[in-house]
Amino acid sequence: MARLAGVSQATVSLVLSPKPDGKGPLISEETRQRVLEAARSLGYVPDPAARRLAAARNNLLGVFSFTATFPTDVRHSYYPFLVGVECEAAALGYDLVLFTGSSSGGAGAAGPDALSRVRLADGCLFMGRHTPRAELKRLVEDGFPVVHLGRREELEGVAWVGADYVAATREVVGHLAGLGHQRIVLVREDDDAPASADRQRGFLEGLEAAALPSGPATVFRSADPRRDLTPERLRAWADEGVTAFVAEETDTGTAWRSLLSAVRGAGLDCPADLSLALLGSPPSDLASEPVPTGFDIPRPQLGAAAVRLLASLVAGESEGEAAREPLVSCVFRPGPTTGPAPAHP
């Protein structure tokens, strides 16, 4: 019917099943007539029982991760997100449905219809760096309430909440510049996840604000930092005058682990020879290491903000009408891994 009328499935639903309180996006009369004509030509007869069922709410919010997350423990980086989600959902009178199929390898491992089961809930919160765009788009076009935890501007129509990684990274670079570091390099993985792009943007803006050299040579982007970030490469940077490195936080912590390994392999001292900063929190299995300079991601606050936005969409507000959450600020974290830039002859 949607194809015949030349509109989205969501528009068909809005025309054939208008909200009783009159809320919802305005549909032009021309579009409404096209949908009704398509319905008549196809012999569509509304089912009152099905309509009542579709309009019913279960007071259930779904949580689906594109990264293996459930079951987890308090050391997992996603655990604080889930704490914020649970507390806010309870405060708003919702129960949670945790879709644990992603634990076996992510949504893609369960086939092309992996997300269909989330429709058991009234709406769903998604998280993870990499998402199946086509499936999320289909949910949004069908009018199903969706919120992504983390910036997803490239997915049109998907509501999201996120942390202000740009400003936080800029602050870390400013801290290093204040310590006298003139050459700084960012270490990141080779992907296009918005969180990585935001950190790189903040890094380059921080260099520019401090009037420090910027450009391609200041960003080390690798698909496998464990292989490419060698002690020899690190010594070469040090010989060229690089005195500070910052690494992004990812689910695996590969960039930070590789940087630490290369520094030790090169026989360099931190922070006497090189200063190191982490754009996020260190992996849980490195708890015995000094907590590095960087910033803390407000994971519980982000989880709570995502639930508030999802509840607004479930209540019938459009994304524009919903109380859109602002970017959540990250808190700068001083640490023993940074110090004054060493003097070079």
At residue 227, the pLDDT reads 95
At residue 48, the pLDDT reads 46
Q: What is the largest CA-CA distance in the chain?
A: 85
At residue 164, the pLDDT reads 95
Asked if residue 25 has a cis previous peptide bond (ω within 30° of 0), the answer is no
At residue 85, the pLDDT reads 95
Amino acid at 256: W
Q: How many residues does the chain have?
A: 345
At residue 316, the pLDDT reads 82
CA gap 282, 256 in Å, rounded: 8
At residue 26, the pLDDT reads 65
List the pLDDT tens digit at each of the 345 positions of the chain. 667 777 776 677 777 766 554 555 567 788 878 878 877 777 665 544 444 445 567 899 999 987 766 655 555 677 888 899 999 999 999 999 988 765 444 444 444 566 788 888 999 999 877 777 778 888 888 889 999 988 877 677 788 999 999 999 999 999 999 999 999 999 999 988 888 999 999 999 999 999 999 888 999 999 999 999 999 999 999 999 999 999 999 878 899 999 999 999 999 999 999 999 999 988 877 777 889 999 999 999 999 999 999 999 998 876 555 556 678 999 999 999 999 999 865
CA gap 164, 298 in Å, rounded: 10
